[in-house]
Structure 1
Amino acid sequence: MYGRLVEVVVDVEAPGLPQPLTYRVAGPGEEKARVGACVLVPLANRQQIGFIVATEGVTPPADHAVRDVVALLDAEPFFDARAYALIKWMSRRWRCGIVDALRCIVPAAVSAQVQRVVRLTGAEPTAKLSPLQTAVRNALMAAGGCLPHKELLHLSSLSKGPTPNSTPRGIAAAVSALRAAGLVEDTYVVQPPRVRPRLQKAVRIPLGADAARLILQASTERQAKVLRHLARAGEPIPCTELIRTLGVSAGVLSALEKRGLAESCTVRVTRDPFRGPSVAAERHRLTDDQRAALAPILASLARSAPGRFLIHGVTASGKTEVYLRAIEEAVEAGNQAIFLVPEISLTAQMLDLVKSRFGRGAAVLHSRLSEGERYDEWCRIRRGEVAVVVGARSAVFAPLERLRLIVMDEEHDGSYKQETAPRYHTRDVAVQRAATSGASLVLGSATPSVETFYWAGRGSIQLLNMPRRIDDRPLPNVEVVDLRQAPPAIFSPRLHSAIQERLAKGQQTILFLNRRGFSTFVLCRDCGYTARCPNCSVTLTYHASTRQLRCHHCDYSRRAVTTCPSCSGTRIRHFGLGTEKVEAETCRAFPNARVLRMDRDTTGRKDAHRALLRRFRDREADILIGTQMVAKGLDFPGVTLVGVVAADTALNLPDFRAAERSFQILAQVSGRAGRGDDPGEVVIQTFNPEHYSLQAAAKHDYLGFYQREIAFRKELSYPPFSRLANVVVADTSNQAAESRVRAVAAALTAVAQSADLGVQILGPAPAPLERIKGRYRWHVVVKARNPKALGICLDGLETLAEAARAGLVVDVDPMSLL
């Protein structure tokens, strides 16, 4: 047998396909076949992109012949064997396809794509064609005989006629009929990555020329200035950069080229996501608590003995400086680090700190980057030009070869959990990647997750306490206002007077409400009609700025009503509260205050987070109103008051983590106050002042909350005393969803009972959010004492027919059961 056998994961959505597949590499590409290389392979009757995942010890399959790799598209590996081991582990851990896990490692924008093209065969029709089939054939002829399949389905000349069936589905049926008649055929064309390197025109000193002599020949001072700059640089400089930095015109550069004093060339430039000036981070002398927390981390780095650490430090205790010092130590030793933060808004502030310490040695990865920026940053990391990667969830997969430290700030945050396949938790991926890379892991939070703190208490993670704020500044005084005893208003008299006092002193205020929009629902006072989403089992939220009713689950929207569509009454009223309404009331109550609002509606534009935070930091606003974006990690010394407008928004949700989330968000947002020289104050407005999570948050008592919560978890056998999986079935028919989920529950129960696993099957039942995006949702919760039992039980899903498994969502270790 000639050639070399390799295993390939084919990048295709095919749930029943047993990946990886075996192929043979022959010819010139045989020696270049390495793990992580991108290849073009045959699959059924088409060609697809794949990635080599094994080159050694591959045996031919017994049930079918081995097919040859068509082409080696990129011999430079996208990942190594260690990264593929992480992919396989993720696939098993979170019950997802190997392709879903692979796509975390290889962003779609950086690899080649296969495009399906519909091409005329040249044959003539032997039977009469339908009007739509004729139109499709004519469109292909007008386009030169071929069109990409996706483009053809959405061609405007077809979608406007000639029949009511001129929809993408109808056009696809017409193409299938033409294919069956032999009039068209499918071909597959390899397309380069969606994003390519950015090239710019540049200018340089002619190769081999004497720069000093050229400068003497310059006819103007501006020409000489450019030549001196090029001589000092010793490399080509983009024309746009010369024009911007030297203040010369394009004509000056053109004149130098014409006289032969300079020559043009093309250079690759990097799209820089670090826009704008960074704020220098002052290096303060470490406190005793910081030194004590940093010492064991540095010792683990020095010994090359990976450790796991949890820094439990109160807000403003200086955890960030400990992170940066540890990263500096890793980088100075020639190694690399990943710095994870949960929110894009935190990334913006952290970017300034990291850039000021590491300059171009830092890269950023998060979802708000443009495809071009993400491509350039990923390529810089892949080439080894980066020492530190900072970012949100996806940064944990950064292709660093010398990784020795992973830092995860605000480790408790729910946004570290991915809500689409693969439904991984970043903390668990970080633990696994640190273990396989020989890296130390540092988790940090003022309010650690119950699970993490539990494992720290059992010795699996070394606990490092930082119980005091920098300079022994006091924690803010917290006052809980019972709204049951207060007049009905957005601001209780206590919060109103506190805001007024800060405005008079020239100090800043943060107002927190974890709900955006103006009003949470619209109601007719005559007949009781409420505006509900047609796709989801929720009411529509009113947004005053656009005068729209919007669903925050499926993004359905329509114009706000002034007349009831049910009874034609005009007594339409808006109820509930959102950040938009808080902003309007703040501007009305404090007309001279400068107000900013930070939520998903105001941060949709690129770099909006960074711009808003910079304005607030520069004292261009007195009051910042926001959702959870303003609740954690932000450091503004001018803030002396935090007002929690409504503390009850998440407290009574039907979810076992509701109390934990409420405590964490209240403790975190309270920590934004009093971080400068002036003491801070927090006013929490609530209808549930007796709840233990609010009481603990008011006292800054994490241990008291933890002891109460861990007792509740143990009594009901919730994590960390068990492992959960939430199995969700969704269907456009409620009856079909119920029927399918009952089959799921029966399959899981049969395995659990036959193997005597000690597993509880809870349900089936309608999900708390019964309908989302037009699909009815039913779920089954599996509760197991250990991971092995959970895995064996979930294997029972494989006994279901493929149709029954279609669209099934298996969320292992869910953050929410809603």
Structure 2
Amino acid sequence: MEVIFLRVALDTPLDTSFDYRWTLTQQDGVAAPVPKVGQLVLVPFGRQEIVGLILDVLETTTVPENKLRDAIAVRHDVTPLSPDWIALCQFAADYYQRPLGEVALPSLPKNLKVSKTVSLVRALKKLAQLPALADATPIAEPVLNSEQQGAVDTIVGRDGYAAHLLFGVTGSGKTEVYLQAAARILAQSVDAQILILVPEINLTPQFEAHIRARFPGLLLSTLHSGMAEGERLLHWIAAHTGRSRIVLGTRLAMLASLPRLRLIIVDEEHDPSYKQQEGLRYSARDLAVWRARQLQIPVVLGSATPSLESWHGAQSGRYRLLELHERAVQKAVLPVIRIINLEQEKPSEGLTPRLIAAIRRRLDKKEQSLLFLNRRGYAPVLACDACGWISDCNRCSAHLVLHKGDHRLRCHHCGLEQRIPRSCPTCGNIDLQPLGRGTQRMEESLAAIFPDARVFRIDADSTRLKGSAAAAFERVHDGDVDILIGTQMVAKGHDFKHLTLVAALNPDAALFSQDYRASERLFAQLMQVAGRAGRAAQKEDGNASEVLVQTRYPDHPLYHALMAHNYRSFAADLLDERQQACMPPFMYQALLRAEARELQTALDFLQQAAACMPHPAMTINDPIPMTMTRVANRDRAQLLIESASRPALQAFVKIWIAELRSWKSRVKWSLEIDPVDI
């Protein structure tokens, strides 16, 4: 019997692959299949049996015979993962400084990696019976305006790689550009696949509805973390085998196996949700651009408020800028944005008299209002006026948030929950007061002010159950809601036809954040939530939709740019500031984080890391505590590394990380390339 050797990548923190022995056998005179690169294989590792990815099939190995172990089983029932897919994972591993196995294996469905094949066999049987999209007749494609048509023609008009930044005001019909560009590419090839990324799970139902109505007869796969594992496996296999012509998903779909991918679309490309914040801290948007270049296909990044990195890419010529200046629906106009000065107009229950009057006018006209408050819970903190006690989390550098309906105090960082105390734990005062307002408290206030209105709240607390977010948004779309109060979940992507008033209630905190990206994110949030208003045609009474922003800083340049709907001016000013301050996108960064039981232990580790290697081309800043220093009884600190050269930073970090991994330390540490939260 012939023996060969399999080089296998495993999901381990080790920077190497492992060689295993495989004996070729015969059964009834027929040779068993030879393992192939890209197949999954079950192997022993320590005392466990785990699934790995075959990277190479070898005739010889340098591993001593007494250290070789036999592979257990090869998954011949799954088509091998393609060399292009492995190359994508290898690039991500190299760029984000992680082992290949830690990139490739976690991106696969869990049920594909279990030692038993029952779930896989069941999924393959279901796949054979999986129908195409149910609707038999496609809806007619809307007629595009000249700017939309020009964008579609540009996207599909040339062969090879091209990165397009589709910059259009909210409601300008970017989705229609995506769909018609996809339709033309699908028509050009009978097996082409399209990948569409959205930033959040709750945006997938709306996109699914558009796709199902437009492309009957084509199979759609959806991939996101909210799916049951069996369902995710089924959709992944449909994409991997090429059965699914369109794949829709959140950032994890970026690493899906798509053997015939011909177009990538990243909607709301500015959204921070595209950056993974645990484990492999990758940017799905950036990987989309690399994958498009790898495959020599077009990629479209769409946004009304592009990230400064993408906007700079368009200004420098790396990306092709496609602009949509007008709203797609005839007679639909951008809302009028007005500022309410809280120093002059005092609020009651968080609402100024002018805002209350504006909501009443919309109620009288049977129109919807949206109040945007990016703080869930009832109140940010519970306090005692007598002694000054406040509801702090004893495990984190944070307050316990009051959730009145659940009768709980809850930490939004570590998950700690406590009952609401009957009296002050310090002095016994029974008159404890909530300070500040969250969405739950605002919902209560709105119901009291407008008792006849249908007030509805959408946030992470109200949409915990599977399917609840889709059902909640359906209520708004159906007109069963008069006043909607919500967090950033309601701010993007949704097309509310009856919504004519938007109010931002508490946006000022971001103006003074130490995070240099805070103003960019606030502007994007406010522009996005403002864009929910007035998306349908303006009514004959000429009463334009409006956006009201309650602020104590009405003269801030951000609000002036917002009132003018002037992203260009705002982005130009921010880019000038970033360039003068030597910040991204004009500087490249890596962030080393450390956590330990004591803060000084983490700081000492980072200080030693900063001093362990010469770094003439690097700027290594002093270690500092993180803004949220303590989480779940662990103190956290960070060390920022900067360079004007991306290759120089990568070269330094590669050697530096190898040195840090050789240390024996109880400090838990991680490295992030291109950090978004500093």
Aligned counterparts, 1:29-68, within 5 A: 31-44=33-46, 47-55=49-57, 60-61=62-63, 66-68=68-70
Deviation at 1:42, TM superposition (A): 3.5
Question: Which AA in structure 2 matches 1:8?
Answer: V
2:589 corresponds in structure 1 to 724
Instruction: Select the residue among 663, 675, 678 that pairs with 1:814.
Output: 675
Deviation at 1:549, TM superposition (A): 0.6
SS in 2 for 1:816: coil
**Farther off after superposition, 657-666 or 792-801:** 792-801
Deviation at 1:589, TM superposition (A): 0.8
Question: Which AA in structure 1 matches 2:210?
Answer: L
Alpha-carbon displacement from aligned partner over 1:540-589 (angstroms, at most 9, x marks no partner) = 11011101111111111111123000111123110011111111111111
1:558 and 2:415 are equivalent in the alignment: no
1:98 and 2:100 are equivalent in the alignment: yes
2:556 corresponds in structure 1 to 691
RCO (CA 8 Å, sep 6+): is it higher in 1 or 2?
2
1:714 corresponds in structure 2 to 579
Deviation at 1:66, TM superposition (A): 4.3
Deviation at 1:622, TM superposition (A): 1.1
SS in 2 for 1:533: coil
Question: Which AA in structure 1 matches 2:633?
Answer: G
**Gap change, CA 1:57 and 1:513, over 3 Å in 2:** farther
In 2, Cα distance between equivalents of 1:775 and 1:281:
55
1:505 corresponds in structure 2 to 365
Q: List alignment gaps of at least 5 residues for structure 1.
A: 114-190, 200-265
2:545 corresponds in structure 1 to 680
Deviation at 1:75, TM superposition (A): 4.9
In 2, Cα distance between equivalents of 1:705 and 1:342:
23
1:24 and 2:21 are equivalent in the alignment: yes
2:237 corresponds in structure 1 to 379
Instruction: Select the residue among 790, 796, 810 that pairs with 2:649.
Output: 790
2:122 corresponds in structure 1 to 197
1:760 corresponds in structure 2 to 619
**Gap change, CA 1:782 and 1:382, over 3 Å in 2:** same
Identical columns (%): 34
Aligned counterparts, 1:167-246, within 5 A: 191-192=116-117, 197=122
In 1, Cα distance between equivalents of 2:398 and 2:466:
30
Q: CA RMSD in A?
A: 2.5
Question: Which AA in structure 1 matches 2:337?
Answer: V
**Gap change, CA 1:478 and 1:609, over 3 Å in 2:** same
2:541 corresponds in structure 1 to none
Q: Which 4+ runs in 1 deviate beyond 3 A?
A: 28-31, 42-48, 56-68, 191-196, 266-274, 276-282
**Farther off after superposition, 634-643 or 684-693:** 684-693
In 1, Cα distance between equivalents of 2:595 and 2:416:
19
In 2, Cα distance between equivalents of 1:268 and 1:425:
31
Higher fraction of helix = 1
Contact 1:751 1:793 in 2 (8 A): no
**Gap change, CA 1:57 and 1:629, over 3 Å in 2:** farther
In 1, Cα distance between equivalents of 2:574 and 2:671:
26
In 2, Cα distance between equivalents of 1:278 and 1:609:
28
Aligned counterparts, 1:151-170, within 5 A: none
Deviation at 1:18, TM superposition (A): 3.8
Contact 2:588 2:645 in 1 (8 A): yes
SS in 2 for 1:423: coil
**Gap change, CA 1:64 and 1:472, over 3 Å in 2:** farther
Alpha-carbon displacement from aligned partner over 1:747-799 (angstroms, at most 9, x marks no partner) = 3xx331xxx21x21122011111011211001101111121221233232322
Deviation at 1:369, TM superposition (A): 1.2
**Gap change, CA 1:267 and 1:569, over 3 Å in 2:** closer
Instruction: Select the residue among 251, 272, 277 that pairs with 1:414.
Output: 272
Contact 1:281 1:353 in 2 (8 A): no
In 2, Cα distance between equivalents of 1:520 and 1:279:
51
Instruction: Select the residue among 557, 563, 568 that pairs with 1:703.
Output: 568
Contact 1:7 1:54 in 2 (8 A): yes
Contact 1:38 1:75 in 2 (8 A): no
Contact 1:34 1:75 in 2 (8 A): no
Deviation at 1:689, TM superposition (A): 1.9
Aligned counterparts, 1:327-726, within 5 A: 327-333=182-188, 334=190, 335-359=192-216, 360-470=218-328, 471=330, 473-489=332-348, 490-678=350-538, 679-726=544-591
Instruction: Select the residue among 293, 317, 326 that pairs with 2:181.
Output: 326
Deviation at 1:53, TM superposition (A): 1.4
**Gap change, CA 1:327 and 1:695, over 3 Å in 2:** same
1:205 corresponds in structure 2 to none
Q: How many residues align?
A: 661
In 1, Cα distance between equivalents of 2:379 and 2:119:
41
2:5 corresponds in structure 1 to 5
Greater CA radius of gyration, 1 or 2?
1
Contact 1:524 1:569 in 2 (8 A): yes
1:214 corresponds in structure 2 to none
Question: Which AA in structure 2 matches 1:463?
Answer: L
2:113 corresponds in structure 1 to 111
Alpha-carbon displacement from aligned partner over 1:230-254 (angstroms, at most 9, x marks no partner) = xxxxxxxxxxxxxxxxxxxxxxxxx
Q: List alignment gaps of at least 5 residues for structure 2.
A: 26-30, 539-543
Alpha-carbon displacement from aligned partner over 1:634-672 (angstroms, at most 9, x marks no partner) = 111211111111112433221010110010000111111
2:170 corresponds in structure 1 to 315
Contact 1:418 1:425 in 2 (8 A): yes
1:287 and 2:145 are equivalent in the alignment: yes
In 2, Cα distance between equivalents of 1:108 and 1:371:
7
Deviation at 1:348, TM superposition (A): 1.8
**Gap change, CA 1:575 and 1:387, over 3 Å in 2:** same
**Gap change, CA 1:805 and 1:405, over 3 Å in 2:** farther
In 1, Cα distance between equivalents of 2:138 and 2:451:
34
Contact 2:605 2:667 in 1 (8 A): no
SS in 2 for 1:484: coil
Please report the TM-score for the alignment, with normalisation by the length of structure 1. 0.77
Contact 1:270 1:376 in 2 (8 A): no
SS in 1 for 2:396: coil
Alpha-carbon displacement from aligned partner over 1:182-202 (angstroms, at most 9, x marks no partner) = xxxxxxxxx346676279xxx
